[in-house]
């Protein structure tokens, strides 16, 4: 075949896929494999110019063909216009889907320009062309913009401006290396052997002579289908799979609790029968779980609130007298799977000094290093964790997970590096999920329409994990009316949950924000006006005012529509906390005539590399090519994990502090190199080689946010971030489809460090919220407990065609007490979105959805299937 | 690869080795990766004679089994002559899959039931004797009972459209004395709705070589619709094809076929009859009234009966509204 312009030869086996050939044999790792099933497009190659999913294409089909991978897209005059456009419009976040998108878009743009000249295609045309691609980060708005601009001929020459994302060029060319691309010389492959039983004691395991590590807990019990019980390794993937096949497990089946609606009934099989087993249950939240009493499979309540007795009494009395100003409703959500496109992966190696080297797809580089050091009894600096690029995390890639433990143990046993990569079925079963919940909401208004009481009981369905914290989030919303907030865990023999972008927040807002809409209807009040009244906060009031002034809101028609296609507009508010990590450090050093920043921080697509780059460039007035940033190594200066909305708010100020310190150091050494405005003279850097400075994250003014510190979350900063989402949908009442048309996202989180990246993240938050509201549902077999949605056809995440036109509005005032002026937006930008969809569907149809996802069958039943 | 080069030789080789044929491989490779297909594989790629469209003297088309779905969707003459087929081809799967997947592979692909595709379950389709979907999750299961224990709907969209054209399948390589259809048979006879163990009736070693269509009808309008939750690239909950033939402003002939609702694609003759004489989209609502009565939903897929009716109604309204001037 001709590969990227040169002749190439290979003699692949019959079952080898084209993706395996180019990645594993020819070393072109720009092509990614994310689903392996022809759904996501990450593996797209051009075969004789036609975009083709290489994960299903037999490698033998490439014989005699002309093949172009992402690495071969660039021509003699530099990057393909589409690559430049993706960089300029930031059509990416984590970048794992980017090579596939770019390859397909290049073919589309070339064809479009040949047929229609330099014109902009419609959104629908772009969506049709890119229908075979999925981006879990939801960077679709940037992708639309990039493709349209490339078609219009706007990127035929190199842009004089650097792209908004520091590593954009690496991502559009396929050069960016992810853990799944790492395969050192002599590397062995590992496979996890997983339980096929929902609940069983394992009497014996016969590893069949393979190099293996036992992963079962002390009680030798498996508690869900898919639980890892052993890992094996062998020199090649095929041998490893064969070794895994040979493992024999002797199960002694135990009765299993599979239905979260019945697991707490008397007589149900108990998931954790002993105190020790209960204490060993994994947590699906950040930090230690709230205290809670166990009764069989029910754990809790963990009660919070203030004047809880009053709240309960008021709600009860209102129910008795049939008060219309009481909204008493039950809302439901199911498990939502993170579905990062880069699967969980680790490559582990022990060196000759006994140091442990881990390449891993993690959102907590330092966290993994610390935990690994503890587990293997090493000083922290002898564990070397690398995560150069990370293909998405969303909460599921924190801490020392099974892929790291297994790979490191096997590497020791094998005396060779070992690589362990989850496949998509494992990822969709056992990589964590946002637990489902049944939320009982009580919302009472008094005669004046003020909030008189809030009660919420949440029964959290995190499989065999504990830690559900949904109702507790009622501490954050709508002032200080009496409230009782209780969280329960309902344990079942199903896979454990994990923190997911605003843990508990999406479930909580789905219930509360629809409840508030119902209240507005009862009170005959505009839903925005009611929220504005109930929410005393000045920053969020600015968002309500902004939303109320939007034409789509001001001009909306009231009441359900008629006819087959009905439009509706819905609104939802959300609050979130922010954390900072005062231990964060950024180090700068002058090297090769440039300022180089180094930080352990990982970049999971949220832009930590770009934040440091921008701050240093701006602060020191340097051109793009004079600032370089390295991230994702545990040996570099301390940075927190990417969760809890704390990364940007921690590293941004530390980077600024470091830049200022460096400037002082330069001034001391070469006063002439610093201009009046504080900029460094780029030419002078050459003679300043080795000059260094470090910066810290200083403390914010003021104290804690809540009367009590939120358990397990550390000390949150003062002030809540806020979001108001306005969503317009069109409902097809004949076939039950809900189509999001336009969305406005108002965010109050202070100053944005990098405007385009921040918008991108908020756009992605909208897309993920739409997925939650409309499509995403893990399905489990009710009889065996096995997860059935093990591929990306059946587990449905939003595609580019499901993306509404999104407008992001930042209200930046009100964060002056925070060092750096800005805090995190990751969570607040997504957790309210589903409720906005729900409220819009209600506005369109008059039917109130109570359960996500709002599938066609549920919608049709709801609006009255004839 | 030295893939054998002619149909007879390939068929003989398939029969001898018991190998599974591989056309585009988009279905087969997925099943092999999932570990639910094994054994030897024989590539059909070398059979150039099975590629492309041949136009016969009566103006009808014969489409080679190795013609890709994308070629069917893009072929201007096919689009004019058999609009329902081209529309269906353009709407299924994703651009990348259409570029590789073939007509033959589409018609003979295996079903997408999650239990069948999971290595954790055995069922009628994988050599077992139970159907875990019946007791378990069958939200997307069949809603029209053709007498099989398996409740996985047939996956092929092209089969639905070809049924609406009463197309004919050409099959080579039959072992002597075998029962079943002959070398030419209606596409409908590739399937047996009562058979729980397989998704088509071709024996190992039998090759689908082409599908032949009847001469195109003058004055045809057509539509294809599917019900899904997302806007694109999603397997249908229900899919429907309608073709109507007009004379002087009234429908004189109609063909309506549906998919994703039964073990095979289905024609709906009662709907077709009700359309004769129709003059516009208003006729759709009345024509679909009997559709729900055909359905025998499973315990947890009752929604599909009304959704079938309404998808058919939608496709009819579109076909009846589409440029009746001709
Ligand atoms: C994301 C996604 C979405 C999809 N959506 C749809 C959809 O909406 N509608 C739809 O219809 N399909 C859909 N498909 C399926 C797709 O259309 C089929 O996989 C494809 O058409 C199969 O063609 P192929 O040539 O690749 O078949 P192969 O995988 O090569 O073969 C499939 C089967 O047919 C047999 N076979 C193939 N050709 C012959 C022949 N000539 N004679 C005898 N046996 C033969 C093979 O032995 C094999 O058993 C989707 C697939 C994906 C990945
Ligand atoms: S529906 Fe058919 S394919 Fe699915 S489990 Fe039952 S028998 Fe198997
Ligand atoms: S990896 Fe090939 S399409 Fe997803
Ligand atoms: S950027 Fe698309 S998946 Fe992360």
For residue B202, how far is its CA from the centre of ligand 3 (angstroms)? 30
**What does the pLDDT read at residue A707?**
45
Q: Could you say which of A421, A441, A460 is where a domain stops? A: A421
Q: How confident is the model at residue A652 (pLDDT cuts 50, 70, 90)?
A: very high
Q: Which two tokens stand for residue A495?
A: 């896979």
Give residues 232 to 261 of B whose Cβ lies within 8 Å of A. 232-235, 237
CA B105 to centroid of chain Cα atoms: 10
Mean pLDDT of chain B: 94
Where does B220-321 sit in CATH, by number?
3.30.390.50
Least confident of A18-32, A560-574, A734-748, A756-770: A560-574
A16 touches chain B (CB under 8 A): no
Q: How do residues B78-102 score in pLDDT, each as one tens digit? A: 999 999 999 999 999 999 999 999 9
C-alpha B127/C-alpha A338 separation (Å) is 34
- What mean pLDDT do residues A6-12 have? 95
Bond prior to A853 in cis (omega within 30° of 0) = yes
Strand pairing class (A585-591; A594-599): antiparallel
Q: Find the domain containing A328 and state its range.
A: 275-337+433-499
Give the nearest chain B residue to A861 (CA atoms): B303
Q: Is residue A34 included in any domain, yes or no?
A: yes
Is A269 within the bounds of a domain? no
Distances from the Cα of B163 to the Cα of A394, B74, B187, B241, B293, angstroms: 46, 20, 6, 9, 22
For residue A787, give how far its alpha carbon lies from the nearest alpha carbon of chain B (Å).
9
Q: pLDDT grade, residue A697 (50/70/90)?
A: confident
**Residue A681: CA atoms inside 13 Å, Cβ hemisphere, count?**
14
- By CB atoms closer than 10 A (0-12, 13-18, 19+), residue B319 is buried
Q: Classify residue A779: in a domain, yes or no.
A: yes
Rounded to the nearest angstrom, the gap between the alpha carbon of residue A359 and the centroid of all alpha carbons in its chain is: 20
Length of chain B: 326
Task: Locate the ligand 2 atom nearest the alpha carbon of residue B121 and give its number.
Answer: 5
- Predicted pLDDT at B70: 98
Question: Would the CB of B301 count as within 6 Å of ligand 2?
Answer: no
The answer to whether residues A459 and A567 belong to one domain is: no
Distance A145 CA to ligand 2 centre (A): 44
Contact (CB<8Å) A57/B234: no
**Same domain, yes or no, for A735 and A851?**
yes
Cα A351 to middle of ligand 4, angstroms: 33
Q: If contacts are CB pairs under 8 Å, which of residues 83-102 in chain A contact chain B?
A: none
pLDDT tens for each residue of A725-742 = 999 999 999 999 999 999
Encode pLDDT of A208-248 as tens digits. Answer: 999 999 999 999 999 999 999 999 999 999 999 999 999 99
B132 lines ligand 2 (CB under 6 A): yes
Residue A382, domain CATH: 3.90.1170.50
Q: What pLDDT shows up at residue A710?
A: 46
CB contact under 8 A, B118 and A865: no
Q: In terms of CA atoms, which chain A residue is nearest residue B38?
A: A15
The confidence score (pLDDT) of residue A259 equals 96
Q: What is the mean pLDDT of residues A252-275?
A: 95
Q: Does A132 touch chain B (CB under 8 A)?
A: yes
Asked whether residue A683 falls in the same domain as residue A570, the answer is no
Domain CATH for A306: 3.30.365.10
Q: Each residue of A617-646: pLDDT tens digit?
A: 999 999 999 999 999 999 999 998 887 677
Question: Distance between CA A577 and CA B243 in Å, rounded?
Answer: 58
Asked whether residue A705 is domain-assigned, the answer is: no
Helices (H), A703-832: 755-770
Position A295 pLDDT exceeds 50:
yes
The partner residue sitting opposite A860, judged by closest CB among B30, B118, B306, is B306
Out of B96, B97, B232, whose CB is closest to A799? B232
> Residue A320 contacts by C-beta under 8 Å, 6 or more apart in sequence?
none
The yes-or-no verdict on residue A866 having pLDDT over 50 is no
pLDDT attached to residue A699? 77
- Which of A499, A516, A549 is at the close of a domain? A499
- On whether residue A601 sits in a domain, the answer given is yes
**pLDDT tens-digit series, residues A800-817:** 999 999 999 999 998 888
Domains contained in chain A, number: 5
Sign of the torsion formed by the C-alpha atoms of A629, A634, A639 and A642 = positive
Residues above pLDDT 90, as percent of chain B: 90
- Confidence (pTM): 0.97
Q: Hey, where are the domains in chain B?
A: 7-117+155-212, 220-321
Report yes or no on A39 lying in a domain. Answer: yes
Quick one: pLDDT band at residue B178, thresholds 50, 70, 90?
low
User: What band does B174 get if pLDDT is binned at 50, 70 and 90?
Assistant: confident
Compute the mean pLDDT over every residue in chain A, rounded to the nearest whole number: 95
Please report the atom of ligand 1 found closest to the CA of residue B235.
8
Closest CB to B231 among A53, A58, A801: A801
CATH assignment of B7-117+155-212, among 3.60.15.10, 3.30.465.10, 3.90.226.10, 1.10.3720.10: 3.30.465.10
At A555, is the secondary structure helix, strand, or coil? Answer: coil
A220-229: per-residue pLDDT in tens? 999 999 999 9
Ligand whose nearest atom lies closest to the CA of A342: 4
Verify whether the Cβ–Cβ distance A132 to B95 is below 8 Å.
yes
In this prediction the ipTM stands at 0.96
What is the spatial distance between Cα B226 and Cα A218, in angstroms, rounded to a whole number?
51
Per residue in A441-481, pLDDT tens? 999 999 999 999 999 999 999 999 999 999 999 999 999 99
Confidence of residue B1 (pLDDT cuts 50, 70, 90): very low
Kindly give the residue spans of alpha helices, DSSP state H, lying in chain B.
Answer: 7-17, 28-33, 69-74, 76-81, 83-91, 95-100, 103-108, 132-135, 157-164, 269-275, 283-287, 303-321
Answer whether A788 sits within 8 Å of B115, measured CB to CB: yes
Residues 4-33 in B contacting A (C-alpha not used; CB under 8 Å): 22, 25-26, 29-30, 32-33
**Beta carbons within 8 Å of A210's beta carbon, 6+ residues apart:** A232, A233, A234, A243, A244, A246, A247
Q: Please tell me the distance in Å from B46's CA to the nearest CA on chain A.
A: 10
Q: How many CB pairs under 8 A join A and B?
A: 163
pLDDT at A303: 80
Q: Nearest ligand, CA of residue A44?
A: 3
Percent of chain A with pLDDT over 90: 89
Please check whether residues A81 and A146 belong to one and the same domain: yes
Domain boundary among A398, A421, A444: A421
**Whether residue A562 is found in the same domain as residue A596:** no
Taking a C-beta distance cutoff of 8 angstroms, is the pair A340, A393 a contact?
yes
Residues A738 and A793 in one domain: yes
* Closest C-alpha among A803, A830, A808, A825 to residue A746: A808
Strands (E), chain B: 20-22, 41-43, 53-55, 61-64, 168-172, 184-186, 207-212, 220-227, 238-247, 250-259, 266-267
- A316 within a domain of the structure (yes/no): yes
Q: How far is A110 from chain B (nearest CA, A)?
A: 16
Closest listed residue to residue A611, CA positions, set A826, A766, A370, A763: A826
CA distance A713 to A291: 14
Cβ–ligand 2 contact at B131 (below 6 Å): yes
């Amino acid at each position: 075949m001709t590969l990227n312009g040169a002749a190439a030869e290979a003699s692949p086996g019959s079952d080898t896929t084209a993706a395996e050939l180019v990645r594993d044999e020819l070393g072109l790792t720009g092509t990614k494999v994310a689903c392996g099933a022809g759904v996501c497009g990450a593996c797209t190659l051009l075969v004789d110019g036609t975009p083709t999913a290489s994960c299903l294409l037999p490698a033998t089909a490439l014989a005699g063909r002309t093949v172009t991978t992402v690495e071969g897209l660039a021509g003699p005059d530099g990057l393909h216009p589409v690559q430049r456009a993706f960089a300029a419009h930031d059509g990416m976040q984590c970048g794992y889907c980017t090579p596939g998108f770019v390859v397909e878009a290049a073919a589309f743009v070339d064809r479009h320009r040949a047929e229609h000249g330099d014109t902009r295609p419609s959104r629908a045309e772009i969506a049709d062309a890119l229908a075979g691609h999925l981006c879990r980060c939801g960077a679709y708005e940037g992708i639309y913009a990039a493709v349209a601009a490339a078609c219009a001929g706007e990127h035929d020459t190199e842009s004089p401006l650097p792209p908004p994302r520091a590593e954009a060029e690496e991502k559009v060319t396929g050069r960016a290396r992810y853990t799944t691309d790492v395969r050192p010389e002599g590397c062995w492959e590992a496979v996890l052997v997983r339980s096929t039983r929902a609940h069983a004691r394992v009497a014996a395991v016969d590893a069949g002579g393979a190099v293996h590590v036992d992963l079962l807990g002390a009680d030798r019990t498996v508690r869900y289908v898919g639980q890892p019980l052993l890992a094996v390794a062998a020199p090649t993937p095929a041998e490893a799979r064969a070794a895994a096949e040979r493992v024999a497990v002797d199960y002694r089946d135990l009765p299993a609790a599979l239905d979260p609606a019945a697991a707490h009934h008397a007589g149900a099989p108990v998931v954790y029968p002993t105190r020790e087993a209960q204490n060993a249950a994994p947590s699906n939240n950040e930090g230690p779980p709230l205290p809670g009493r166990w009764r069989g499979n029910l754990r809790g309540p963990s009660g919070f609130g203030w004047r809880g007795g009053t709240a309960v009494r008021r709600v009860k009395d209102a129910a008795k007298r049939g008060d219309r100003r009481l909204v008493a409703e039950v809302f439901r959500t199911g498990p939502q799977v993170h579905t990062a496109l880069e699967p969980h992966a680790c490559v582990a190696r022990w060196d000759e000094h006994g140091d442990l080297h881990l390449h891993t797809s993690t959102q907590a580089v330092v966290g993994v290093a610390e935990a690994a050091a503890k587990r293997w009894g090493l000083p922290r600096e002898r564990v070397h964790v690398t995560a150069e690029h990370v293909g998405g995390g969303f909460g599921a890639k924190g801490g020392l997970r099974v892929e790291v433990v297994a790979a490191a143990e096997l590497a020791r046993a094998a005396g060779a590096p070992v690589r362990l990569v989850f496949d998509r079925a494992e990822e969709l079963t056992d990589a964590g999920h946002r637990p489902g919940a049944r939320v009982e909401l009580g919302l009472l208004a008094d005669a004046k329409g003020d909030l008189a009481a809030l009660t919420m009981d949440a029964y959290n369905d995190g499989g065999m994990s504990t830690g559900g914290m949904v109702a507790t989030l009622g501490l954050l919303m709508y002032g200080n009316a009496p409230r009782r907030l209780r969280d329960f865990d309902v344990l079942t023999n199903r896979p454990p949950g994990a923190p997911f972008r605003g843990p508990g927040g999406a479930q909580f807002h789905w219930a509360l924000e629809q409840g508030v809409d119902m209240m507005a209807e009862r009170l005959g009040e505009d839903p925005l006006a009611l929220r504005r009244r109930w929410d005393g906060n000045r920053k969020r009031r600015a968002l309500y005012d902004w939303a109320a002034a939007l034409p789509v809101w001001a001009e909306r028609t009231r009441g359900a529509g008629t006819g087959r296609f009905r439009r509706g507009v819905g609104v939802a508010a959300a609050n979130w906390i922010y954390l900072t990590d005062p231990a964060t450090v950024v180090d700068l050093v002058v090297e090769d005539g440039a300022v180089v920043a180094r930080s352990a921080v990982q970049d999971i697509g949220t832009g930590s590399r770009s934040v440091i780059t921008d701050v240093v460039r701006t602060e020191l007035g340097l051109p793009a090519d004079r600032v370089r940033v390295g991230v994702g190594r545990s040996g570099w200066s301390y940075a927190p994990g990417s969760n809890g909305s704390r990364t940007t708010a921690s590293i941004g100020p530390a980077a600024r502090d470091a830049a200022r310190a460096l400037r002082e150091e330069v001034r001391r050494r070469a006063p002439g190199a610093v201009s009046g405005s504080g900029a460094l003279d780029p030419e002078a850097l050459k003679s300043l080689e080795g000059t260094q400075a470090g910066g810290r994250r200083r403390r914010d003014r003021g104290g804690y946010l809540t009367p009590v510190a939120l358990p397990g979350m550390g000390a949150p900063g003062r002030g809540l971030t806020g979001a108001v989402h306005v969503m317009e949908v069109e409902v097809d009442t004949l076939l039950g489809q809900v189509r999001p048309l336009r969305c406005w996202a108002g965010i109050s989180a202070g100053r944005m460090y990098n405007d385009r990246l921040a918008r991108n993240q908020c756009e992605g938050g909208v897309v993920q919220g739409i997925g939650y509201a409309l499509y995403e549902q893990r399905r489990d077999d009710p009889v065996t407990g096995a997860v059935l949605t093990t591929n990306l056809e059946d587990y449905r995440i939003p595609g580019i065609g499901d993306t509404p036109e999104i407008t992001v509005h930042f209200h930046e005032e009100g964060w002056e007490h925070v060092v750096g002026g800005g805090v995190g937006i990751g969570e607040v930008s997504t957790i309210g979105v589903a409720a906005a969809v729900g409220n819009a569907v209600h506005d369109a149809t008059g039917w109130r959805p109570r359960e996500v996802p709002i599938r066609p069958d549920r919608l049709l039943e709801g609006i009255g299937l004839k | 690869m030295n893939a054998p080069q002619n149909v007879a030789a390939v068929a003989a080789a398939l029969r001898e080795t018991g190998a599974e044929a591989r056309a585009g491989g988009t279905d087969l490779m997925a099943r092999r990766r999932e570990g639910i297909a094994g054994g030897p594989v024989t590539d059909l790629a070398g059979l150039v004679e099975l590629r492309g469209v041949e136009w016969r003297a009566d103006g009808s088309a014969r489409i080679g089994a190795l013609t890709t779905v994308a070629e069917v969707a893009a072929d201007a003459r096919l689009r004019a002559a058999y609009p329902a087929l081209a529309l269906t081809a353009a709407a299924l799967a994703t651009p990348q899959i259409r570029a590789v997947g073939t007509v033959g592979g589409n018609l003979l692909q295996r079903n997408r039931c999650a239990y069948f595709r999971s290595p954790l379950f055995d069922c009628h389709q994988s050599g077992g004797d139970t159907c875990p979907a019946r007791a378990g999750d069958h939200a997307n299961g069949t809603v029209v009972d053709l007498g099989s224990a398996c409740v996985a709907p047939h996956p092929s969209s092209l089969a639905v459209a070809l049924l609406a054209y009463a197309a004919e399948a050409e099959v080579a390589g039959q072992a002597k004395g075998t029962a079943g259809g002959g070398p030419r048979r209606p596409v409908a006879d590739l399937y047996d709705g009562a058979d729980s163990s397989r998704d088509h009736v071709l024996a190992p070693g039998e090759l689908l070589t082409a599908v032949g269509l009847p001469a195109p009808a003058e004055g045809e309008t057509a539509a294809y619709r599917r019900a899904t939750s997302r806007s694109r690239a999603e397997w249908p909950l229900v899919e429907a094809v309608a073709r109507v033939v007009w004379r002087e402003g009234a429908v004189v002939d109609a063909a309506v076929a549906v998919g994703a609702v039964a073990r095979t694609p289905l024609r709906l003759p009662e709907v077709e009859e009700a359309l004769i004489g129709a003059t516009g989209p208003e006729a759709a609502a009345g024509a679909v009234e009997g559709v729900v009565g055909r359905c025998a939903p499973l315990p947890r897929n009752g929604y599909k009966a009304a959704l079938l009716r309404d998808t058919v109604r939608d496709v009819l309204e579109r076909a009846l509204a589409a440029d009746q001037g001709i």
